[in-house]
């Protein structure tokens, strides 16, 4: 008899470690599953159950109550920020690609190319990067307001990791430098338009997307005196900043446990009539696109009707992007921009897959500045045609880690530049900057924008 259960756990890539029971090959947990079909739970697809037990499980799934409670909230609107599979030619529409493409499917797209096709794609990426990614500046800003965190003069019960503190401080420093944040201690909470028209002391609310434990908002409240905050996060976390935030007498905190994809921000009652700042640190993959679309819709931002005047009004945003390899064509905000530049849906998916190479190399030195890397990816048309006998696997093996990392950073910047152009289409004053050196974090790009008539000072 086997010394351990023979049930294979795909996510852990190993067999179950529990001892089998009686004469079975499986432990008690898995003996009934060995020959059964496992299907995702319709309430929460992150876990699986036996098909034969599905009907009973749905009635008692631990997340059922939470899902039902969320569905009756006025700000819940399924898929409101998801985007659409639009702007495709009939040929692309028939490509058979689904809305959500896994990393394995993206890899298959790349490795399904011929050698010349792969070379031409690298050449297109290089040319496109040279064309649109010229003005991405280093902007590592640590302001005096954040000294209490930088020096560790905070409640010792608050988790303190230097690399995260430096990132948070630079995000806030860039917001201050950009004129969308200042110290609001003593300011008035925004509740619609002030009769005298003076907005100098009006304190905007803050909506943190993908808030996690909420420590970016914690620093913002400690250092800048924000009075009303909304933390948007779909997961539950331990060691949250909520307890510390709620101890601030003048601060009003509301945590919205919801997927950004389903959040109708206009329907959040406590945010009505308020101006707000949108922030996010390391919004993974499509979460950045979902958050941008959540804040900016033509109905809520451009319309000047009586119906829209009581809606929340975006004053500015600062979002640190992350995990571009998870991006999806459906969710991406600026498909039209990429299509006009000659990037197809399949090429976009390949570009997102290349972004994972940005973390291949050692980051003891800052290699995220690809503007001077003129020797990389310069493959001529003739050279590509001579590679008819080469496979993508052969070509990739000939690329060293620095070359792959440079390509990854180029692809990240192309994706983020499309988002920046989308913000500019709405008339926002916008920048894409590198807010920390890659030695602190290789995920170091920050989208920052504000309404042109907004000034925090």
Q: Are residues 16 and 130 in the same domain?
A: no
Residue 23 has pLDDT above 50, yes or no: yes
| 3-state class (DSSP) for residue 431 | strand
- In whole angstroms, give the CA distance from residue 67 to residue 80: 17
Of the listed ranges 8-22, 29-43, 116-130, 320-334, the least confidently predicted one is 29-43
In terms of residues, how long is the chain?
457
Structural domain includes residue 37:
no
On whether residue 67 sits in a domain, the answer given is no
DSSP string, 378-424: ---HHHHHTTTT-BHHHHHHHS-HHHHHHHHHHHHHHHHHHHHHHHH
Quick one: 9 and 152 in the same domain?
Answer: no
Characterize the bridge pairing of strands 38-40 and 445-450: unpaired
Residue 195 has pLDDT above 70, yes or no: no
Residues in CB range of 356: below 8 A, 6 or more apart: 103, 325, 408
Q: By residue range, what is the domain housing residue 18?
A: 1-25
Domain count of the fold of the chain: 2
Residues 107, 20, single domain; the answer is no
In a domain, 105, yes or no: yes
E strand map for 149-194: 188-189
In a domain, 437, yes or no: yes
Q: Are residues 18 and 127 in the same domain?
A: no
Is pLDDT at 220 greater than 60 in this prediction?
A: yes
* DSSP, res 168: H
pTM, to two decimals: 0.83
**Would you say residue 353 lies in a domain?**
yes
In angstroms, rounded to a whole number, what is the distance separating the alpha carbons of residues 234 and 209?
Answer: 10
> Using one digit for the tens of pLDDT, what is the confidence trace for 104-158?
999 999 999 999 999 999 999 999 999 999 889 999 999 999 988 888 777 656 6
Looking at 269-400, list the stretches that DSSP marks H as alpha helix, in order from N- to C-terminal side. Answer: 286-295, 335-340, 345-354, 381-385, 392-398
Question: What H or E segment, with its residue span, contains residue 39?
Answer: strand 38-40
Within a domain: residue 351?
Answer: yes
pLDDT bucket at 40, cuts 50 / 70 / 90 = confident
pLDDT digit string, tens, across residues 405-421: 999 999 999 999 999 99
Q: In whole angstroms, give the CA distance from residue 303 to residue 75.
A: 20
Q: Is 317 or 64 the better-scoring residue by pLDDT?
A: 317
Residue 381 pLDDT exceeds 70:
no
Residues 6 or more apart whose CB falls under 8 angstroms from that of 244 comprise 155, 157, 158, 218
Q: Which residues of 193-205 are buried (b: 16+ CB within 10 A; e: fewer)?
A: eeeeeebeebbbb
Say how far apart CA 442 and CA 324 lie, in whole Å. Answer: 12
Domain assignment present for 285: yes
Residues 234-278 have pLDDT tens digits of: 888 888 888 889 988 889 999 999 999 999 999 999 998 889 999
* CATH of residue 196: 3.40.50.150
Q: Indicate whether 143 and 14 sit together in one domain.
A: no
Residues 115 and 232 in one domain: yes
Q: At what angle do helices 115-132 and 345-354 cross, to 10 degrees?
A: 80
| Residue 91 lies inside a defined structural domain of this protein | no
Of 443, 446, 426, 418, residue with least CA distance to 329: 418
CB 330: neighbour CB atoms within 10 A? 19
CB-CB neighbours of 394 under 10 Å: 12
CB of 3 closer than 8 Å to CB of 19: yes
**Phi, psi for 312 (deg, rounded to 5):** -60, 145
> What is the sign, positive or negative, of the torsion defined by CA atoms of 370, 367, 173, 238?
positive
Res 214 pLDDT > 80 = yes
- Residues 139, 261 share a domain: yes
Rounded mean pLDDT, 7-36: 77
Q: Any idea what DSSP says for residue 326?
A: G
Buried b (16+ CB within 10 A) or exposed e, 212-222: bbbbbbbbbbb
How far is it, in rounded angstroms, from Cα 263 to Cα 169? 27
What is the sign of the dihedral through the CA atoms of 119, 122, 124 and 130?
negative
Question: Do 292 and 169 reside in the same domain of the chain?
Answer: yes
Q: What three-state secondary structure class fits 161?
A: coil
Considering the domain architecture, whether residues 219 and 329 belong to the same structural domain is answered as: yes
Contact 171, 146 (CB under 8 A): no
C-alpha span between 181 and 173 (Å, rounded): 9
User: Within this chain, do residues 15 and 111 fall inside the same structural domain, yes or no?
Assistant: no
Does one domain contain both 19 and 147? no
**Distance between CA 166 and CA 281 in Å, rounded?**
12
218 or 381, which is more confident? Answer: 218
Beta strand extents in 43-149 (DSSP E only): 48-50, 137-138
Question: 15 and 136 share a domain?
Answer: no
Q: Which tokens hold the place of 146?
A: 């954040």
Nearest to 223 by CA among 189, 253, 248, 199: 248
pLDDT tens digits for 437-447? Answer: 988 998 999 99
């Amino acid at each position: 008899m086997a010394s351990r259960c023979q049930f294979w756990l795909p996510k852990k890539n190993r067999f179950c470690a529990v001892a089998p029971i009686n004469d079975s090959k499986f432990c008690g947990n898995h003996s009934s599953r060995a020959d059964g079909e496992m299907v995702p739970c319709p309430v929460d697809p992150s876990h699986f159950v036996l098909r034969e037990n599905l009907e009973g499980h749905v009635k008692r799934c631990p997340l059922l109550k939470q899902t039902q409670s969320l569905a009756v909230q006025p700000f819940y609107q399924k898929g409101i920020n998801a985007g659409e599979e639009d702007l495709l030619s009939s040929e692309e529409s028939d490509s058979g690609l689904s809305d959500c493409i896994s990393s394995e499917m993206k890899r298959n797209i790349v490795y399904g190319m011929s050698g010349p096709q792969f070379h031409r794609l690298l050449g297109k990426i290089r040319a496109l990067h040279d064309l649109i990614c010229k003005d991405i500046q280093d902007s590592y800003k640590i302001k005096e307001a954040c000294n209490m965190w930088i020096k560790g003069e905070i409640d010792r019960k608050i988790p303190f990791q230097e690399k995260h503190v430096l990132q948070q401080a630079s995000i806030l420093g860039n917001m201050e430098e950009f004129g969308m944040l200042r110290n609001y201690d003593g300011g008035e909470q925004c509740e619609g338009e002030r009769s005298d028209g003076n907005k100098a002391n009006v304190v905007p609310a803050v909506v943190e997307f993908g808030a996690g434990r909420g420590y970016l908002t914690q620093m913002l409240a400690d250092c800048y005196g924000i009075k009303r905050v909304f933390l948007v996060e779909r997961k539950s976390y331990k060691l949250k900043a909520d307890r510390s935030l709620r101890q601030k007498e003048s601060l009003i905190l509301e945590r919205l446990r919801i997927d950004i994809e389903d959040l109708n921000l206009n329907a959040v009652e406590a945010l009505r009539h308020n101006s707000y700042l949108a922030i996010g640190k390391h919004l993974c993959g499509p979460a950045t696109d979902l958050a941008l679309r959540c804040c900016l819709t033509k109905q809520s931002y451009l319309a000047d009707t009586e119906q829209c005047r009581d809606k929340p009004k975006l004053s500015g945003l600062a979002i640190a992007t992350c995990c571009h390899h998870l991006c999806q064509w459906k969710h991406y905000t600026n498909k039209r921009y990429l299509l006009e530049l000659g990037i197809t849906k399949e090429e976009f998916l390949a570009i997102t897959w290349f972004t994972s190479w940005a973390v291949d190399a050692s980051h003891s030195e800052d290699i995220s500045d690809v503007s001077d890397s003129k020797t990389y990816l310069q493959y001529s048309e003739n050279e590509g045609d001579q590679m008819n006998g080469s496979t993508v696997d052969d070509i990739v093996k000939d690329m060293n880690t620095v070359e792959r990392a440079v390509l990854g950073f180029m692809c990240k910047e192309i994706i983020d530049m499309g988002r920046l152009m989308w913000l500019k289409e709405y008339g926002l004053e916008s920048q894409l900057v590198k807010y920390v050196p890659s030695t602190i974090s290789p995920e170091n790009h920050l989208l920052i924008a504000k309404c042109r008539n907004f000034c925090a000072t």
